[in-house]
Amino acid sequence: MRAVVQRVSKASVVVDGKSISSIGQGLLVLLGIEDADVKEDIEWLSKKLVNLRIFNDDQGVMNLSILDVGGDIIVVSQFTLHALTKKGNRPSYIKASKPETAISIYEEFVGELEKNLGRKVGTGIFGADMKVELLNDGPVTIFMDTKNRE
């Protein structure tokens, strides 16, 4: 799994002009899934996200987690995070899981994240043409890969 994690002041997902999810302070997580992803990847990334200390404390130091600040999370599936760009100018997405595999992994990840966060997590609609809007706070943007544990 690959994730681009953005600390946001607010974020929302709109599909066909209809608001699907919106949050104030929290995390917007763009999630790429590949066939090699297993339960261990889901658990590792979920725990890492809720405990990641990237929110400011009273001294302005990134020392607090999403749990500490009571923030919310939106997870948006994004197969393009597995783009291969080594050859030519047109990215290949061969490493990204097909929907029949990715949907169940995505749903399992959202469920695990809700369990670790202790409340509902916002989502987009898998495979839909989504309009994602965010106000990146910082900016703070972190790339995570469960295969490299980075």
The three-class DSSP label of residue 43 is helix
Tally the C-alpha atoms within 13 A of residue 79's C-alpha that lie toward its C-beta. 19
Start-end of H helices in the chain: 39-51, 66-69, 99-117
Q: Which of 6, 79, 109, 146 is catalytic?
A: 79
User: What are the angstrom distances between the C-alpha of 63 and each of 54, 66, 95, 124?
Assistant: 6, 10, 35, 29
Q: Is 79 a catalytic residue?
A: yes
Q: Which of 78, 109, 123, 146 is catalytic?
A: 78
CA distance 55 to 74: 16
Instruction: At 134, give phi and psi (nearest 5°).
Output: -150, 155
The three-class DSSP label of residue 35 is coil
Q: Is 85 a catalytic residue?
A: no
Q: Which of 25, 55, 59, 80 is catalytic?
A: 80
Active-site amino acid positions = 78-80
